[in-house]
A and B are shown apart, each in its own frame.
Chain A
Amino acid sequence: MKKTCIAMLLAGGQGSRLYALTQSVAKPSVPFGGKYRIIDFPLSNCANSGIDTVGVLTQYRPLQLNSYIGSGQPWDLDVNNGGVYILPPYQSAGEKGSWFSGTANAIYQNLAFIENYDPENVLILSGDHIYKMDYADMLRDHLEHDAACTISVLQVSLEEASRFGMMNLGEDGYINEFEEKPKHPKSDLASMGIYIFNWPKLRHYLIADEANPNSKHDFGHNIIPAMIADGEKIWPYHFQGYWRDVGTITSLWDANMDMLSPDLINLYDPDWPISARSPICPPHQTGPHAEISHSIVTEGCEIDGHVANSVLSPSVRIDVGARVLYSVLMNGAVVEAGATVEYAIIGENTVVRAGAHVGNAPDGSEAWGVATIGPDVEVRPGASVPAGAMISKSEEV
């Protein structure tokens, strides 16, 4: 059956800048905001926008992501004629088979999946963005402007512009130039890495790009510039609202802290729920010494210590006398009695033993940073982990 629009979610990134957190899991399955994993945001946006067919492109450590997505039931994506599909790289008869060499190549390798649904349009999403967005509204904009491609854009300050792909508009409002991380930006419209393509057009450009041995097979570097060069109509969809790329430790920590501020992003809005697969634990418990302030706490947690300005995923345990400040604690993390965790990200099932100290408050120095401890690490009793450190399982302290 023909579909108006299906989504392809790029979830293959290794997330090398988060490396302690992504040594054994793909970035989209990193816990986020208490209840969630990063991929819950684009998946929920799809479900809320009425897009019922989603291909999730994976190639790096997909095991946990696969089991997390499962049938797609938590996002109501377990439907007849559609649903959520994990699409790893594969080998065809007589071919050598290869890893996805770029974002565009990943889609190219799954032409058969897309053609199965014969869609009019294809929405390209990234698995490492935190935002709420109505893709149906973007699709309307795309169709109204008869665009070959619509790119979701966000207004950024000129200082930030050098980190993004920037869009320059012609007088007609269509995009006429794309600059990747410009030193001297000409506009303040940054690409959010969210595209809707007219499928026949995209198909044409993907095949042409694949034949070009000099291409990086990337949407931002190759496909979009090629379309602009050919004079295709590329429309900017002006997004207003909260949007964060969580590709770095600092941005991941910042975005988690943002979840404490409903004026930035309201997770309690019943009209646009972000859904997650629930581990089904009993509710969280507060003990006789618990102190909790300006924090997010999730099912299965047991808290008898002091928690402030922090985000706790399911089944975190904070023992009596422990202090957790300005930190992100992922599923099953434990902070034992008398330990302190501040300005830190603690990975899944990591244990901070009694009296240990992880992270430090900002001291204004250049070297300061959020302390990060990967999953399944044991921080020994009384040990000290300095600000900005990044520790993974192989280098326990």
Chain B
Amino acid sequence: MNDFHGLIFAYFTNPNLRELVNVRTAASLPFCGRYRLIDFSLSSMRNAGIYDVGVIMQRDYQSLLDHLGGGKAWDMARRTGGLRMLPPFGLPEYHRGNYSGTMEALIAVRSYIQDIPAKYIVLLLGNMVANIDLTKPMEQHRRSGAEITALCTDRSGDGFRMTYVKGEDGLLKKILVDTADPKAGPVSMEGYIINRDTLLNMIEDCRKESIHLFHREALPRFLQQGGRMDCYVHTGYSVLVRSVDSYFKANMDMVDPAIRHELFPADQPVFTKVREEVSTYYAEGAYSRNCLVADNCIVEGSLENCVVFSGARIGKGAKLKNCIVMSDCVVGADSKLDYCIVDKDVSFSPGTVLTGNEKLPLVVPKGSAL
């Protein structure tokens, strides 16, 4: 039996993601032409042999459920264990709002965690874009004797907001919140490997004290009480998507082959639900440069610096620049779009002109008809 069990936080809907999270959580945001953000945490776990994974969700999870299905795509449809969806349960009757913090979410699913047979639990954020070889921090955690191993990154970005301060013994002593400063110490990816018993103790302690915040309250408490926390630094592309800006930039990063190959190495595949059935067709007169284009598209117009998801129809004479076009969108002939994030199932009638700005990409909500 595997000593490790996975837990993924997939309930966030950060307001800076604006219209993109009207209909979904950040974890189910479409990414890189065919993926959803949660594919990265799920695939990292799967590639490390973790097939028993709970996904903590709270609301607006229809799109997430649709994507995850029974977990088959990640080999997590298992006879015993496998993928489990964890919507809220056991919350007090009066609780109608959002989880006010990660600790509250963990308290809400504590009966699930109590039943986990594995010794260690890997916690990851569902809005993480990183392909982590978890076998290394897992091995480190097993050997180090630390109760918690914090996953850190050598990269920077606006999604990171915590830094740890190391003590002389190399263990982590302090957390600087709202700071992502590699000079001060390792920058947090807000992912952890933690002994199950340690986590259960923290949950019990925080439940009694009504502590809901993990980084601001629960972890400092753990450190104060003499808890041992080590860190592992992941070297490789990493982003936490928390805003339209970071979402746009991370997608555009993928057009660069060097970055894409770093995130999608051949020996660490990223798995996702398969939907495409047919290749993409470029008509005579089509144009496509510096783009990522998924299958099942028909391109008659012109694409430059775009990420296009499956099922798109780009009409003759249409010109798209610096756009993200999600699944099943129809762009009518001679339309001109620049700096737009076009959500799923949007249709533009011929000749539509829409221009966003590099600083403020225009988000066209799901299902719009212009």
Contacts and interface: CB of A to CB of B under 8 A. Distances in A.
Interface stretch (A119-127, A283-291, A353-361): A283-291
B260 A296 contact: no
A292 B284 CA distance: 8
Interface of B: 32-35, 72, 254-255, 257, 260, 264, 269-272, 274, 276-296, 298, 303, 307-309
A367 interface: no
Contacts of B283: 293-294
Contacts of B276: 35, 278, 299
B264 A282 contact: yes
Interface stretch (A80-88, A110-118, A268-276): A268-276
Contacts of A299: 34, 276, 279, 294-295
Nearest to A35: B279
A44 to B, nearest CB: 9
Contacts of A294: 282-284
A293 B299 CA distance: 10
Give chain A's interface secondary structure class. Answer: loop
Interface in A27-60: 33-35
A290 B304 CA distance: 11
Contacts of B35: 282
Contacts of B295: 35, 283, 298-299
A192 to B, nearest CB: 23
Closest 3 CB pairs of A and B: A34-B279, A283-B33, A283-B294
A36 B272 CA distance: 19
Interface of A: 33-35, 73-74, 260, 262, 267-268, 273-276, 278, 280-299, 302, 311-312
Nearest to B299: A292
Contact of B255 (A73, A268, A285): A285
A282 B289 contact: no
Given A293-B284, A299-B276, A285 B289 contact: no
Nearest to A284: B293
Given A286-B291, A288-B290, A299-B294, A273 B277 contact: yes
Given A290-B288, A293-B286, A35 B277 contact: yes
Of the listed residues B32, B277, B284, B289, the one surrounded by the most CB atoms of chain A closer than 10 A to its CB is: B277
B281 A286 contact: no
B278 A280 contact: no
A287 B289 contact: yes
B78 to A, nearest CB: 15
Residue from B276, B279, B282, B295 having most chain A Cβ neighbours under 10 A? B279
Contacts of B270: 280
Contacts of A283: 32-34, 292-295, 307-309
Interface centre among A280, A291, A292, A293 (most CB of B within 10 A): A280
Contact of A282 (B32, B281, B290, B303): B32
A281 B266 CA distance: 9
A293 B281 CA distance: 9
B292 A297 contact: no
A271 B309 CA distance: 21
Contacts of B289: 286-290
8 contacts: A35-B295, A268-B296, A283-B295, A286-B303, A294-B284, A298-B279, A299-B294, A302-B257
A214 to B, nearest CB: 47
B284 A286 contact: no
Contacts of A34: 278-279
Given A290-B288, A298-B295, A299-B294, A284 B274 contact: no
B335 to A, nearest CB: 20
Contacts of B294: 283-284, 299
A280 B269 contact: yes
Contacts of B288: 286, 290, 292
Nearest to B282: A292
Given A282-B32, A285-B257, A292-B286, A274 B293 contact: no
Contacts of A260: 281
A285 B285 contact: no
For B34, B254, B298, B303, the residue with the greatest tally of chain A CB atoms inside 10 Å of its CB is B34
Contact of A293 (B257, B285, B290): B285
A285 B264 CA distance: 13
A296 B281 contact: yes
A280 B276 CA distance: 10
Nearest to B35: A282
B279 A297 contact: yes
Contacts of B274: 74, 278, 280
B291 A285 contact: yes
Contacts of A74: 274
B269 A282 contact: no
Contacts of A292: 282, 286, 288
A276 B274 CA distance: 10
B212 to A, nearest CB: 38
Nearest to B269: A280
A292 B33 CA distance: 19
Given A278-B274, A278-B276, A299-B34, A284 B292 contact: yes
A8 B254 CA distance: 44
Contacts of A295: 281-282
Nearest to A292: B282
B195 to A, nearest CB: 34
A282 B257 contact: no
A325 B293 CA distance: 21
Given A282-B260, A297-B282, 19 more contacts: A35-B277, A268-B278, A274-B277, A281-B264, A283-B294, A285-B255, A286-B288, A286-B291, A288-B290, A290-B288, A290-B289, A292-B282, A292-B286, A293-B284, A293-B285, A293-B286, A294-B282, A295-B281, A298-B280
Contacts of B257: 285, 287, 302
Contacts of B296: 268
